[in-house]
Amino acid sequence: MELALPFLLLALLASPSLAHANGNGSNTTTYIVFMDPARMPAVHRTPAHWHAAHLESLSIDPSRHLLYSYSAAAHGFAAALLPGHLPLLRGSPEVLQVVPDEVFQLHTTRSPEFLGLLTPAYQPAIGNLEAATHDVVIGVLDTGVWPESPSFAGGNLPPPPARWKGVCEAGVDFPPSLCGRKLVGARSFSRGLHAANGGAIGVGKRTFRSARDRDGHGTHTATTAAGAVVANASLLGYATGTARGMAPGARVAAYKVCWPEGCLGSDILAGIDAAVADGVGVLSLSLGGGSAPYFRDTVAVGAFGAAAAGVFVSCSAGNSGPSGATVSNSAPWVATVGAGTLDRDFPAYVTLPTGVRLPGVSLYAGPSPSPRPAMLPLLYGGGRDNASKLCLSGTLDPAAVRGKIVLCDRGVNARVEKGAVVKAAGGAGMILANTAASGEELVADSHLLPAVAVGRMVGDKIREYAARGRGGGRPMAMLSFGGTVLGVRPSPVVAAFSSRGPNTVVPEILKPDMIGPGVNILAAWTGVAGPTGLAKDGRRTHFNIISGTSMSCPHISGVAALMKAAHPDWSPAAIKSALMTTAYTVDNTNSSLRDAADGSLANAFAYGAGHVDPQKALSPGLVYDISTNDYAAFLCSLNYSAPHIQVITKTSNVSCPKKFRPGDLNYPSFSVVFNQKSKPVQRFRRELTNVGPATSVYNVKVISPESVAVTVTPAKLTFKKAGQKLRYHVTFASKAGQSHAKPDFGWISWVNDEHVVRSPVAYTWKM
């Protein structure tokens, strides 16, 4: 498995417990304690007061142990506890659940044009929305922000909306005056990490104890969502043009919850809690959520509270593709976003002595390997063992490497770290070659030395040449760089790293929901880190180009801000429905979307409903809406206990319907799980709300595989007024035998002359 850089979205690093030493040297562990708000005595002024008093009643000193109190997105607190404290809390009737804190890691100009936001036909709609987005605040939970970036300039914006309650916290190198009309809030949360690390944060690294961004990831995601318009933006000359966020008129509030050691669940929940209380309209979280039951998933619990308050929550799907069943952040109340490519590329080439010119990509912007284009010796395995083929630290022999182009296999360590290893050993350049694990996916990097990344097939040709050359002559190669190219075909393509379904927490909910641009994305960057993020990278740039579902997530966050501005009365579920049912699944060659891993046709486990289309999403015709009560019924269908449901919903009086199944949630997609022995037929119900013309008639269109018979009743929906809701039922009957192991896919669409309201259907069989 390849280790990603800090600015790439990683999967959850689940840590069952985080032990640390408190000030007295006693070993404590951080836990999140969920409380029953119905049991709060009236004598307490606030939940925080009650939480502290409850600890005192159990002889637990809150001044030493209490870290956070939560009340907006969740009910409970985080505390650093001794082993003897746990039975006291778990035996308390006021306590619903006690769970150990967990460590999460971050998952990592052209996109507005690519999404159609700058096309002439769309400009009138955007112009009308520009003023309306001024009232939308996007809360970004990440590594903080670099406030001096021109992407945070807000001189032409009016004052923040009157309902906004956020603040700009003073901290190290971060006076409150750095906030303004674009960046309207900045807070940092580190008590959980501080407790877990015995008070140490960012050991050996320059770390700001404030909302200031040392890493760059948070600045990049925040400005992708809502960065101001900046002319002549580029990364060292690459991707030159005008940089702008998806919703340049929206406001940004930064909640720094991630530090060099990672992001603690207790800090993340504190950030969500504060953001909801501050009044954000959209939350963007480019970090992983694992695959735990929702009542044990900190992000899922906090996101439910945010969604119940009307906040749209966008989360990254993860960077663990192309393997299946890897998607994270799978709760149905969040928008789970995978990654696709843009129609922009950064070509580079490897030329062999035979004249063969092999394609790759690169963001290298320094001098050439030699004063003029020339062949240089090529080396593969410049060390004592096979580890040198991976170019791991300490594996290359400088005597063998000096002055040569080194061929490195992708994997294990970070891509840019390989380049640093080659440079440190005296290498003149690097060819980074994919193996079967990465397939044909190409991700450009701003390496410290001349370097070209190539796909597996090209890599195999170079590997074969390098091995053959040893016996028949000295292997040679030449590197060259082609700058920035637009109009790449085909695009979009599903990124190979983008995590895939099926959903391992609840297979009946199809995830991811959609994909957005997430490969080679240009956005603002920190002022204290180079584009590689490596300590030895002394270059500084206002913008950087990076990749990951971390990048696709804020694209959707920004588009959601536009949607909230256009439809302020829509629920988060309605906005997500509009984004999903209008998404597209054909590329710019009018062919079905493909998978970058191997060039094969992609499916709904890779792209969900498809690639987001903001223009069409503004007018979806119909939406699948979901209420908080609907989500509660869904949680009941998972056989969660009453306390576990209350942890998520914060409501003690949930009434569980008897005949509600997970697949009955009014979701804009379907995931049908057949059990051939007991459930060869599945029946689902859905309800559509008319958000288009008052009088509208839709007819159903079904595309199904040969393995399944699909019946929709009724086949026609006739709406007579705006806001009207109509139900339909779908019966899925498996025609496949018990040996049918591969998943199948189809579509259910409601169609009229103006709209196509399309839902993907995934079929899986349990043996």
Residues annotated catalytic, as ranges? 142, 217, 550
* Structure tokens given for 551: 């990048």
Distances, alpha carbon 70 to alpha carbons 25, 262, 417, 508, in Å? 27, 21, 40, 31
* Structure tokens given for 577: 């429905």
What type of residue is 434?
A: N
Distances, alpha carbon 666 to alpha carbons 85, 308, 398, 440, 712, in Å? 42, 16, 62, 37, 15
Asked if residues 300 and 334 have their Cβ atoms less than 8 Å apart, the reply is yes
What type of residue is 282?
A: V
* DSSP H or E segment with residue 313: strand 312-316
Rounded to 10 degrees, what is the CA torsion of 389, 394, 397, 399? Answer: 140
Angle at 326 between CA 325 and CA 329, to 5 degrees: 110
In angstroms, rounded to a whole number, what is the distance separating the alpha carbons of residues 484 and 362? 10
Asked if residues 252 and 145 have their Cβ atoms less than 8 Å apart, the reply is yes
- Report helix angle 298-308 to 642-649, nearest 10: 60
Beta strands in 117-206 (DSSP E): 137-142, 183-188
CA neighbor of 166 nearest in space, from 285, 273, 8, 27? 273
Asked if residues 686 and 666 have their Cβ atoms less than 8 Å apart, the reply is yes
In angstroms, rounded to a whole number, what is the distance separating the alpha carbons of residues 276 and 500? 30
SS3 679: strand
In angstroms, rounded to a whole number, what is the distance separating the alpha carbons of residues 315 and 20? 29
In angstroms, rounded to a whole number, what is the distance separating the alpha carbons of residues 342 and 355? 30
Distances, alpha carbon 513 to alpha carbons 167, 190, 222, 332, 743, in Å? 33, 31, 21, 9, 17
Asked if residues 360 and 349 have their Cβ atoms less than 8 Å apart, the reply is yes
Asked if residues 440 and 598 have their Cβ atoms less than 8 Å apart, the reply is yes
In angstroms, rounded to a whole number, what is the distance separating the alpha carbons of residues 483 and 477? 20
Angle at 412 between CA 480 and CA 349, to 5 degrees: 10
Asked if residues 576 and 551 have their Cβ atoms less than 8 Å apart, the reply is no
Asked if residues 599 and 606 have their Cβ atoms less than 8 Å apart, the reply is no
Secondary structure (DSSP) of 429-467: EEEEE--TTTTT-------SS-EEEE-HHHHHHHHHHHH
**Which residues in 308-330 are b (16+ Cβ under 10 Å) and which e?**
bbebbbbbbbbbbbbeeebbbbb
Furthest-apart CA atoms within the chain: distance in Å: 87
In angstroms, rounded to a whole number, what is the distance separating the alpha carbons of residues 201 and 513? 35
The pairing of beta strand 716-719 with beta strand 670-675: unpaired
Place of tokens 């909801």: 276
* Structure tokens given for 747: 């579509």
Asked if residues 506 and 662 have their Cβ atoms less than 8 Å apart, the reply is yes
Asked if residues 309 and 72 have their Cβ atoms less than 8 Å apart, the reply is yes
* DSSP H or E segment with residue 421: helix 415-424
Q: Please tell me the number of Cα atoms within 13 Å of 261 on its side-chain side.
A: 21
